[in-house]
């Protein structure tokens, strides 16, 4: 404004310089004699507050230096410009001083509400902006009921104003109020619907100003969507900390009194239908369906849709039949459903196709809601079925990207009716509908919401809710499609990967429900069993020796939990799936908690008879023997390794498996199954940890005297010496806890079978003969390979044995074996074969300090000192 | 006399111990029960479903009377029955089948009154509410369902309704292992445990989940404290966790939200729990065949019973009939025989002919002589009698008081008269002496 004025002023000035001003000359008529003197003379008015000197310091002022009070006064000024300026000033003031608004909000509202029905368009617009941007957000957290009631009277007043613009603006205001305070609709529902009805009846205006109609209608859609409906029942939140028996105040339900508005709503629907009907010829005359008219029609249809839904599913006393009486149903079927489908007269653009598609979808949805009440003729019904089929197949929509997007967005509107339709129409249509539905399910983007909608429909069709009368299983058409859907699920799971955990969760939930339900239906039972093959890929796959982990490993915990639960319901878990689960459990990246959970659930499944005992035990054995310990060697457990080390995990895994195995039933039977497997594995020389775990399993299941067979005792006697020496070699002597953990199983075995002990001692003795020592590559030990360390290890081992009271008692009956071992150590000492000086020195210093106390201990046996002990002692004394 | 009854999944019979003294009672023979398969029917006799090898087509339910170790009635229902429950009076028995059906028998006649398909998979536990109007069942498919017996027996409403159950709680993902119910009939809470490592608390009045407690291990058994402050959950890791119901719990503790402590004995997995309200004792059965009696206040073990080698999977605490505990063998034997001749075995199929329905008694109340008399009318009579007696003694007391008062009064009278006579005598004596003195002086 200011800029455009400036040049014109300049021109004027130019003119003033040169232009001669013409003055009209001549006489004037004298004033009439009886004229009244209208001149008012007054002396100066003194307004102390308004003088420049007014002290406004400390008060919140706008840019123009006015306080809130002054601005509010000005807002009712007779000049529109001043009013607008005042509103702008208030906005400005509120932005800078938010506290001011909070303090005086009621005063502000009381003053400003008068402006809702302001004559001037600009003022109204400014007021709307002020409310929208400042006042509502600023007062959001307050008690809004009072606040709103202050406004509503003026809004209603404006709604009945004569000027159409003011009325439209009032609807806009109301829309704003509803946005910030939804309950206000239920408070004034009847009055509001009446107002909408009135304005929509004035059909001369909407054909002219579609933009305003559009805003009004969108407001209506918003209001109607607040109508209560039975359908959504997903209100389930557990308050965590609450005390269970605590007193709970009754919260008043917001949706009381909706029953009364049904009549009004019915009238409104009739008006909307008329409105829609008026639009139809317009559409035909227009060359093209423009955005505005499309939006208007869409809003109308949506409003009708919501109203119809409220009639049928809403919470009120009246039955749907009594609401949809003759007038309503005939109007609906003639004027709305009669014109279906809408199609473009002049085919121009693909966009237009999509628009018509959307409108048709909404009409079809309305029809499907009303189907039972209206009782359409077969002809009409056929028409709709055809449309639904085509819509699902995607043939109506354009194939462009935007067309596809529209399709994905609007098809879910039709999906909820599919289960009912499929169960009610004749066989020919049934297969066509199901076919097209299956096509939709397969074709849509796995991450889209359409997929989720399809999944929920599939759940409804597979698992009947409520009372369990299952549709006759002989229905082959349905069964075929059910098979397709079920087989698609694991593939979908793999396709989703870990990109969208929420979708994966939905699929897994469906699988779980299917598993729970499958017990009662032989067909589903078989299909669910078959899923296993495809599902194993979800966990891990092994191809040509390479291991590929599936999405299971990367999904969040709750999805993992769900997928583990699914395993329980396979009535016969096959080996392939079990194998892929084993790989997952063995993977070091998987959290220990999850792998424990897998084992736990699989054991529960075994208990329920869903896994063969052989498979189950071999699963356990594989875990024990193949579990990779990190870091590799047990010996130096440094502080820094504690974090990466998974020793603790493996220990608890061993304990868990031991307790499961002991719970499996008659332990002697289980022992015989396990014995063979373990001995086979042990002879492969597994790492110490795994060997220890397997020995532990054996002793848990064994009893005294031992159940081990002759053969296995011999096999063990070849294995144990090496194992024992390795343990002693690797674990520092002061780490009592650790070596007890590794050696205790052996002690138990010795306790149960003295024969084993004898054999073991023999083998240890034979290690120390010259010929064996010289053999550098002996495979019976992994760590203690050189002769020096082997001698060392033997001595420490014997020391350990003698420290343990119980084993010492057992070993006392094997004096000859011990004696020969000591003898050979002593003789080694003297023989000095192939040793450099340095080696010899080391040997002396390390062996001697240990050997001597050992000999002492052996010598202190109750039977007195035997001659060779004396000999050995002598030898040391002299050397 | 309160006794502890325990059975196991391998044949060790049903052990029976006196809770007070710890003395072992009669052991009932040949019983291998599934979890929740043991039930005392109205404290009159024991019923237990039997584990059978999976190939067996029919189930097996045995009855024992209290006095004899041998099973006295054997019935063979149409399919293997796992959980068994009786209502509090002992007039009905409910069994859960392995196909998900629930069977409802009348004890007195053995008739199968109702059978309905309740779950998709095998039923694992059954619980009656206090007032016997609701039945709660848990299943292998993770579903907990609440059945109203009014609905089950109302054929008209059954046809109208879309489903038979009152509520169906499907939040558990794996097998439901145990259900317990609080007090308050239709307004009570129920707690369910499952193999998904959670226990969930439900409200029966509102039909929704109130609380979800996640445990560190699978929970196989739960018991609720009579005050409903906490519940006890026996885990497969051998611990009995204490979870808060009504007490405030500190959010940061060792086990997780709502779990406020544990009872531990370094033992094998806990398989069943029972609560004895009389002395606030918690009984836990374990995989190693032991039954431990805990004092819940001190968290100490008071006593241990050894049942068998195999896992204990049922514990009941039952108040034995009065007569039995008094051990009067003759009377007992004859009465038992009578009673047992009344209970025919459970029928296999529902009989469609309802003619004899009216002829037979539906509820047979137990003989009142057998029970310790807690009937209110009898109690009141006793009290009145006692009061009367007390009243007469009071009257006597009053009489004594009155008599005492009388005696006191007569004593006073007596004293007064005595005084008068004394005065009179003194006067006379003085008179006489004075007279003599005058005479003497005169005589002088």
Over the stretch A195-212, which tens digit does the pLDDT of each residue have? 888 887 776 666 667 777
Reduce the DSSP state of residue A21 to 3 states and report it: coil
Q: pTM for this structure?
A: 0.76
CA distance A559 to B55: 36
Q: Are B163 and B130 in contact (CB under 8 A)?
A: no
From A243, which residue of chain B is nearest by alpha-carbon distance?
B246
pLDDT at B194 over 90: yes
The ipTM value here is: 0.76
Q: In A, which residues are within 8 Å of B311 by CB distance? A: 663
A238 → closest Cβ in B117, B161, B209: B209
More confident position, B50 or B328:
B50
Q: Are A362 and A305 in contact (CB under 8 A)?
A: yes
pLDDT at A244 over 50: yes
pLDDT at A561 over 60: yes
Cβ separation A244–B195 shorter than 8 A: no
The reply to whether B100 touches chain A by the CB within 8 Å rule is: yes
Looking at the complex, report in whole angstroms how far the Cα of residue B23 sits from the nearest Cα belonging to chain A: 29
pLDDT at B336 over 70: no
CA distance A807 to A750: 8
Q: Residues of B80-89 as b/e, b for ≥16 C-beta within 10 angstroms?
A: bbbbbbbbeb
Q: Supply the pLDDT for residue B180.
A: 93
pLDDT at A452 over 90: no
Q: In A, which residues are within 8 Å of B257 by CB distance? A: 240
Q: Supply the pLDDT for residue B428.
A: 92
Which residue of A234, A235, A242, A244 is the best one to mutate when testing the B interface, meaning the one whose CB has the most B CBs within 10 A? Answer: A244
CB-CB neighbours of A378 under 10 Å: 7
How confident is residue B334, by pLDDT bands cut at 50, 70 and 90? very low
pLDDT at A407 over 90: no
Reduce the DSSP state of residue A461 to 3 states and report it: helix
The reply to whether A568 touches chain B by the CB within 8 Å rule is: yes
* Phi, psi of A546, rounded to the nearest 5 degrees: -95, 145
H/E segment holding residue B95: strand B92-97
The mean-pLDDT minimum among A477-491, B65-79, B241-255, B286-300 falls in B241-255
CA distance A722 to A780: 5
Mean pLDDT across B55-77? 84
pLDDT at A10 over 60: no
From B100, which residue of chain A is nearest by alpha-carbon distance?
A520
pLDDT at A467 over 60: no
Q: Are A686 and A625 in contact (CB under 8 A)?
A: yes
Q: Are A266 and A328 in contact (CB under 8 A)?
A: yes
Reduce the DSSP state of residue B302 to 3 states and report it: strand
Peptide bond into A705 cis (omega under 30): yes
Q: Are A829 and A840 in contact (CB under 8 A)?
A: no
CA distance A160 to B138: 61
Distances (CA, A) of A201 to A225, A317, A824: 22, 29, 116
Which residue of A246, A465, A467, A610 is the best one to mutate when testing the B interface, meaning the one whose CB has the most B CBs within 10 A? Answer: A467
CA distance A306 to A296: 15
pLDDT at A469 over 50: no
How confident is residue A42, by pLDDT bands cut at 50, 70 and 90? confident
The closest alpha carbon to A216, from A287, A265, A250, A165, belongs to: A165
- Looking at chain A, the number of H-run helices and the number of E-run strands are 40, 2
Q: In A, which residues are within 8 Å of B163 by CB distance? A: 466-468
Reduce the DSSP state of residue A727 to 3 states and report it: helix
The reply to whether B287 touches chain A by the CB within 8 Å rule is: yes
A568 → closest Cβ in B120, B174, B245: B174
Looking at the complex, report in whole angstroms how far the Cα of residue A240 sits from the nearest Cα belonging to chain B: 7
The reply to whether A565 touches chain B by the CB within 8 Å rule is: yes
The closest alpha carbon to A833, from A765, A767, A771, belongs to: A771
Q: Supply the pLDDT for residue B422.
A: 94
The closest alpha carbon to A631, from A622, A617, A644, belongs to: A644
Supply the angle between the helices A378-393 and A427-443 in degrees, to the nearest 10: 20
CA distance A773 to A795: 15
More confident position, A137 or A671:
A671
Looking at the complex, report in whole angstroms how far the Cα of residue A572 sits from the nearest Cα belonging to chain B: 15
CA distance B413 to A465: 100
Residues 6 or more apart whose CB falls under 8 angstroms from that of A817 comprise A758, A761, A762, A765
CA distance B268 to B273: 14
Mean pLDDT across A622-631? 82
Q: In B, which residues are within 8 Å of A597 by CB distance? A: 197
Q: Supply the pLDDT for residue A637.
A: 47
Looking at the complex, report in whole angstroms how far the Cα of residue B175 sits from the nearest Cα belonging to chain A: 9
More confident position, B322 or B328:
B322
* % helix, strand, coil for chain B, step of 5: 25, 35, 40
How confident is residue A434, by pLDDT bands cut at 50, 70 and 90? confident
Mean pLDDT across A638-662? 75
The reply to whether A656 touches chain B by the CB within 8 Å rule is: no
CB-CB neighbours of A345 under 10 Å: 13
CA distance A219 to A208: 19
CA distance A91 to A71: 10
CA distance B335 to B219: 42
Region at A804 (left for phi over 0; alpha for psi -120 to 50; beta for the rest) = beta
CA distance B174 to A508: 14
Looking at the complex, report in whole angstroms how far the Cα of residue A734 sits from the nearest Cα belonging to chain B: 28
Which residue of B9, B52, B116, B120 is the best one to mutate when testing the A interface, meaning the one whose CB has the most A CBs within 10 A? Answer: B120
More confident position, A848 or A802:
A802
The closest alpha carbon to A190, from A260, A254, A256, belongs to: A260
CA distance A860 to B256: 55
Cβ separation A238–B164 shorter than 8 A: no
The reply to whether B371 touches chain A by the CB within 8 Å rule is: no
CA distance A711 to A225: 80
Q: In B, which residues are within 8 Å of A469 by CB distance? A: none
Share of chain A above pLDDT 70, in %: 78
Mean pLDDT across A746-752? 86
Counted residue by residue, chain B has a size of 444
Q: What is the DSSP string of A690-722?
A: HHHHHHHHHHHH--SS----HHHHHHHHHHHHH
Q: Supply the pLDDT for residue A5.
A: 47
CA distance A160 to A149: 17
pLDDT at A878 over 50: no
Q: What is the pLDDT of residues B354-398, one digit of tens each?
A: 444 444 445 555 544 444 555 667 777 887 887 777 666 777 888
Which residue of A569, A572, A606 is the best one to mutate when testing the B interface, meaning the one whose CB has the most B CBs within 10 A? Answer: A569
How confident is residue A393, by pLDDT bands cut at 50, 70 and 90? confident
B117 → closest Cβ in A466, A468, A569: A468
More confident position, A745 or A422:
A745
Peptide bond into A487 cis (omega under 30): no
What's chain A's average pLDDT? 77
Mean pLDDT across A323-346? 74
Q: Supply the pLDDT for residue B125.
A: 93
How confident is residue A640, by pLDDT bands cut at 50, 70 and 90? very low
Most confident range, picked from A90-94, A409-413, A708-712, B233-237:
B233-237
Q: What is the pLDDT of residues B106-157, one digit of tens each?
A: 888 888 888 888 888 899 999 998 888 899 999 998 899 999 988 888 888 8
CA distance B206 to B188: 10
Helix ranges (DSSP H) in A19-97: 68-74, 80-96
- Looking at chain B, the number of H-run helices and the number of E-run strands are 5, 27
The closest alpha carbon to A136, from A109, A158, A165, belongs to: A109
Most confident range, picked from A316-330, B242-256, B271-285:
B271-285
The reply to whether B140 touches chain A by the CB within 8 Å rule is: yes
pLDDT at A51 over 90: no
Mean pLDDT across A427-438? 84
Supply the angle between the helices A754-767 and A710-730 in degrees, to the nearest 10: 50
Q: How many A-B residue pairs are in contact by the CB < 8 A criterion?
A: 81
A243 → closest Cβ in B99, B120, B248: B248
Mean pLDDT across A833-839? 56
More confident position, B366 or A696:
A696
Residue B301 half-sphere exposure toward CB, CA atoms < 13 A: 14
Mean pLDDT across A788-817? 77
B100 → closest Cβ in A520, A561, A568: A520
Cβ separation B140–A519 shorter than 8 A: yes
Looking at the complex, report in whole angstroms how far the Cα of residue B308 sits from the nearest Cα belonging to chain A: 14
Distances (CA, A) of B160 to A319, B15, B88, B157: 17, 47, 30, 5
The reply to whether A375 touches chain B by the CB within 8 Å rule is: no
Looking at the complex, report in whole angstroms how far the Cα of residue B322 sits from the nearest Cα belonging to chain A: 37
Q: Supply the pLDDT for residue B417.
A: 94
pLDDT at A872 over 50: yes
With a CB-CB cutoff of 8 Å, which residues 463-492 of chain A face chain B? 466-468
With a CB-CB cutoff of 8 Å, which residues 224-253 of chain B face chain A? 228, 236, 245-248, 251
Q: Supply the pLDDT for residue B144.
A: 93
Looking at the complex, report in whole angstroms how far the Cα of residue B101 sits from the nearest Cα belonging to chain A: 11
Q: What is the pLDDT of residues A522-541, one digit of tens each?
A: 888 888 888 888 888 888 88
Mean pLDDT across A85-92? 86
Q: Supply the pLDDT for residue A354.
A: 79
With a CB-CB cutoff of 8 Å, which residues 184-213 of chain B face chain A? 189, 195-197, 201, 208-212
Region at B228 (left for phi over 0; alpha for psi -120 to 50; beta for the rest) = left
Most confident range, picked from A282-296, A571-585, B11-25, B402-416:
B402-416
More confident position, A342 or B45:
B45
């Amino acid at each position: 404004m200011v800029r455009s004025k400036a040049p014109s002023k300049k021109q004027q000035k130019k003119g003033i310089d040169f232009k001669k001003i013409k003055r009209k000359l001549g006489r004037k008529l004298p004033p009439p004699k009886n004229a009244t003197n209208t001149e008012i003379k007054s002396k100066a008015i003194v307004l102390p507050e308004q003088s420049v000197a007014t002290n406004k310091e400390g008060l919140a002022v706008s840019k123009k230096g006015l306080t809130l009070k002054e601005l509010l006064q000005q807002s009712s000024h007779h000049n529109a410009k001043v009013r607008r300026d005042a509103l702008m000033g208030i906005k400005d003031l509120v932005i800078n001083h938010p506290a001011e608004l909070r303090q005086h909000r009621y005063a502000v509202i009381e003053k400003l509400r008068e402006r809702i029905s302001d004559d001037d368009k600009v003022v109204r617009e400014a007021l709307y902006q002020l409310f929208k941007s400042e006042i509502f957000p600023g007062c959001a957290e307050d008690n809004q009921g009072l606040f709103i009631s202050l406004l509503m009277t003026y809004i209603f007043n404006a709604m009945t104003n004569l000027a159409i613009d003011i009325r439209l603006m009032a609807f806009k205001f109301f829309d704003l109020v509803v946005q910030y305070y939804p309950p206000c609709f239920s408070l004034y529902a009847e009055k509001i619907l009446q107002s909408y009805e009135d304005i929509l009846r004035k059909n001369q205006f909407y054909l002219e100003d579609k933009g305003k109609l559009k805003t009004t209608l969108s407001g209506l859609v918003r209001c109607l969507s607040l109508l209560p409906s039975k359908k959504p029942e997903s209100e389930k939140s557990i308050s965590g900390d609450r005390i269970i028996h605590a007193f709970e105040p009754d919260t008043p339900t917001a949706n009381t009194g909706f029953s009364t508005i049904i009549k009004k709503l019915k009238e409104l629907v009739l008006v909307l239908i008329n409105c829609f009907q008026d639009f139809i010829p317009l559409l035909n005359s227009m060359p093209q369906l423009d955005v505005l008219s499309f939006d208007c029609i869409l809003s109308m249809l949506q409003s009708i849709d919501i109203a119809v839904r409220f009639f049928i599913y809403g919470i009120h006393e009246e039955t749907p039949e009594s609401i949809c009486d003759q007038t309503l149903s005939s109007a609906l079927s003639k004027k709305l459903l009669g014109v279906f489908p809408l199609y473009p007269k002049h085919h121009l653009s693909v966009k237009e196709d999509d628009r018509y598609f959307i409108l048709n979808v909404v009409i079809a949805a309305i029809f499907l809601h009303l189907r039972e009440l209206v009782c359409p003729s077969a002809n009409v019904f056929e028409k709709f079925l055809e449309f639904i089929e085509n819509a699902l197949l995607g043939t109506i929509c354009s194939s462009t990207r935007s067309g596809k997007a529209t399709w994905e967005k609007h098809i879910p509107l039709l999906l909820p009716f599919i289960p009912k339709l499929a169960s009610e129409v004749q066989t020919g249509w049934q297969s066509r509908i199901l076919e097209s539905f299956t096509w939709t399910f397969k074709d849509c983007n796995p991450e889209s919401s359409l997929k989720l909608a399809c999944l929920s429909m599939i759940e409804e069709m597979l698992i009947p809710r409520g009372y369990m009368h299952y549709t006759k299983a002989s229905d082959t058409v349905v069964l075929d499609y059910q098979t397709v859907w079920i087989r698609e699920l694991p593939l979908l799971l793999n396709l989703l990967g870990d990109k969208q955990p929420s979708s994966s969760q939905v699929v897994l939930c469906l699988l779980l429900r299917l598993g729970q339900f499958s017990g009662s239906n032989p067909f589903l039972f078989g299909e669910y069993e078959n899923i296993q093959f495809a599902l194993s890929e979800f966990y891990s796959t092994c191809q040509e020796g390479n291991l590929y982990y599936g999405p299971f490993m990367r999904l969040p915990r709750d999805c993992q939990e769900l997928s583990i639960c699914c395993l329980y319901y396979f009535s016969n878990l096959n080996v392939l799936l079990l194998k892929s689960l084993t790989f997952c459990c063995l993977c070091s990246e998987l959290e220990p908690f999850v792998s424990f959970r897998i084992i736990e659930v699989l054991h529960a499944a075994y208990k329920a008879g869903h896994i063969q005992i052989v498979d189950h035990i071999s699963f356990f054995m594989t875990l024990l023997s193949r579990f990779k310990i990190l870091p590799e060697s047990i010996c130096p457990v440094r502080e820094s390794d504690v974090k990466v080390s998974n020793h603790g995990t493996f220990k608890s895994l061993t304990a868990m498996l031991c307790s499961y195995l002991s719970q499996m039933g008659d332990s002697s039977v289980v022992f015989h199954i396990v014995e063979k497997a373990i001995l086979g594995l042990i002879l492969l020389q597994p790492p110490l940890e795994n060997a220890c775990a397997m020995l532990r399993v054996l002793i848990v299941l064994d009893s005294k005297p031992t159940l081990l067979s002759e053969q296995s005792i011999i096999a063990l006697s070849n294995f144990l010496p090496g194992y024992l020496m390795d343990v002693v070699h690797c674990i520092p002597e002061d780490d009592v806890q650790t070596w007890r953990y590794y050696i205790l199983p052996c002690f138990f075995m010795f306790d149960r079978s003295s024969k084993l002990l004898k054999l073991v001692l023999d083998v240890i003795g034979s290690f120390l003969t010259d010929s064996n020592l010289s053999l550098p590559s002996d495979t019976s030990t992994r760590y203690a390979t050189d002769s020096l360390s082997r001698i060392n290890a033997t001595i420490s081992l014997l020391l350990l044995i003698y420290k343990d009271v119980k084993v010492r008692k057992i070993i006392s009956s094997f004096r000859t074996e011990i004696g020969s071992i000591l003898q050979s150590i002593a003789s080694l000492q003297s023989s000095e074969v192939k040793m450099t000086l340095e080696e010899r020195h080391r040997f002396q210093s390390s062996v001697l300090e240990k050997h001597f106390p050992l000999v002492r201990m052996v010598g202190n046996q109750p039977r007195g000192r035997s001659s060779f002990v004396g000999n050995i002692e002598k030898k040391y004394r002299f050397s | 006399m309160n006794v502890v009854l325990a059975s196991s999944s391998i044949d060790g019979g049903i052990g029976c111990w006196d809770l007070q003294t710890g003395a072992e009672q009669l052991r009932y023979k040949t019983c291998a029960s599934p979890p929740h398969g043991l039930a005392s029917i109205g404290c009159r006799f024991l019923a237990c479903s039997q584990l059978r090898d999976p190939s067996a087509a029919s189930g097996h339910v045995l009855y024992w009377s209290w006095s004899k170790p041998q099973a006295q009635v054997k019935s063979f229902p149409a399919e293997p029955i796992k959980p068994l429950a009786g209502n509090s009076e002992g007039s009905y028995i409910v069994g859960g089948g392995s196909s998900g059906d629930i069977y409802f028998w009348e004890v007195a006649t053995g008739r199968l009154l109702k059978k309905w398909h309740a779950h998709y998979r095998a039923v694992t536990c059954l619980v009656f509410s206090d007032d016997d109007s609701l039945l709660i069942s848990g299943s292998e498919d993770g579903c907990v369902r609440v059945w109203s017996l009014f609905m089950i027996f109302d054929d008209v409403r059954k046809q109208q309704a879309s489903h038979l159950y009152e509520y169906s709680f499907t939040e558990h993902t794996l097998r439901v292992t145990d259900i317990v119910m609080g007090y308050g009939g239709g307004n009570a809470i129920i707690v369910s445990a499952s193999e998904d490592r959670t226990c969930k608390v439900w409200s029966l009045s509102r039909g929704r989940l109130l609380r979800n407690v996640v445990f560190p291990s699978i929970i196989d058994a739960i018991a609720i404290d009579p005050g409903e402050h906490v519940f006890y959950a026996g885990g497969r890791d051998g611990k009995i966790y204490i979870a808060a119901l009504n007490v405030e719990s500190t959010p940061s503790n060792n086990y997780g939200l709502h779990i406020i402590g544990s009872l531990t004995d370094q033992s094998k997995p806990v398989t069943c729990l029972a609560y004895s309200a009389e002395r606030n004792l918690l009984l836990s059965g374990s995989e190693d065949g032991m039954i431990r009696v805990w004092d819940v206040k001190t968290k100490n073990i008071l006593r241990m019973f050894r049942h068998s080698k195999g896992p204990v999977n049922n514990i009941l605490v039952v108040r034995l009939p009065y007569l039995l505990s008094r051990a009067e063998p003759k009377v007992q034997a004859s009465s038992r025989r009578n009673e047992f001749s009344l209970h025919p075995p459970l029928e296999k199929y529902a009989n469609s002919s309802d003619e004899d329905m009216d002829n037979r008694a539906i509820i047979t109340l137990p003989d009142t002589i057998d029970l310790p008399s807690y009937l209110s009318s009898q109690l009141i009579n006793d009290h009145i009698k006692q009061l009367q007696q007390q009243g007469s003694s009071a009257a006597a007391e009053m009489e004594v008081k009155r008599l005492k008062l009388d005696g006191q009064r007569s004593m006073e009278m007596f004293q007064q008269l005595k005084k008068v006579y004394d005065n009179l005598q003194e006067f006379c004596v003085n008179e006489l002496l004075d007279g003599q003195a005058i005479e003497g002086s005169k005589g002088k």
